[in-house]
Amino acid sequence: MRDLFNRSRPNLDSVRQIKQLFSEQFKLTETTTLSVAELNCHEPECPPVETIVTARHADGTVLDWRIPKPINKVLPQDIKLLKTK
């Protein structure tokens, strides 16, 4: 599906799966809000597209993780390789 700026949108099932896998792996509580975003980068040092997952905890702390691929290509193995911060 395309959005207003003719960009393709991530598959909602992929976003849900990423949130579920993060919640399980990092034992996030129901009061933690997870955001999943796909960003395009035009800087020479960064991947062209990356997935950013942000966890906002009830106590105000914020953690984020970066996966150097589009949301629709993130695999469970990619998430398993991430560390708790």
Q: What is the pLDDT of residue 3?
A: 54
Q: What is the pLDDT of residue 5?
A: 55
Q: What is the pLDDT of residue 84?
A: 73
The token duo for 11 is 């598959």
Q: Which residues of the chain have pLDDT under 50?
A: 2
47 and 69 Cβ atoms separated by less than 8 Å:
yes
Q: What is the pLDDT of residue 42?
A: 85
Domain map (residue ranges) of the chain: 12-72
Tell me how far apart the alpha carbons of residues 43 and 23 are, in angstroms, rounded to a whole number. Answer: 31
Task: Report the phi/psi class of residue 59: left, alpha or beta, with left for phi > 0 and alpha for psi in -120 to 50.
Answer: alpha
pTM: 0.84
